[in-house]
Amino acid sequence: MTLTIGTQLDNYTAVNMRTFTKIVDAVGGIDVTLPKTVDGRTADDRDKRLLFLEGTHHLNGTQALTLARIRNDGVISRAA
């Protein structure tokens, strides 16, 4: 993990998606700064909830989970 994010993790916990949203909501949401736009929309699904513009956003649990699940490198890379 240190090579991936550049920071050593001493402790961690695993949670399911429902618990993740509850934790984020319990702390009043999280602030996320995106250096570039993250567009999770596809040609078949133009849902604006999958578009996060460059800049700082205050996200609730559902929004944070949506952003965390977007893969800009495509679905195929998930199987690798």
pLDDT in tens, 22-70: 999 999 999 999 999 998 887 777 777 789 999 999 999 999 999 999 9
1 in any annotated domain: no
Residue 56: beta bridge partners?
33
29 in any annotated domain: yes
The set of residues, in sequence order, having a beta carbon less than 8 Å from that of 23 and lying 6+ positions away, is 15, 61
Q: How far apart are CA 55 and CA 35, in angstroms?
A: 6
Q: How far apart are CA 26 and CA 72, in angstroms?
A: 28
Structural element, H or E, at residue 31: strand 30-34
28 in any annotated domain: yes
pLDDT in tens, 13-30: 899 999 999 999 999 999
pTM of whole model > 0.85? no
Residue 73 is part of which domain span?
Answer: 15-79
Strands 51-52 and 55-59: unpaired
- Total number of domains in the chain: 1
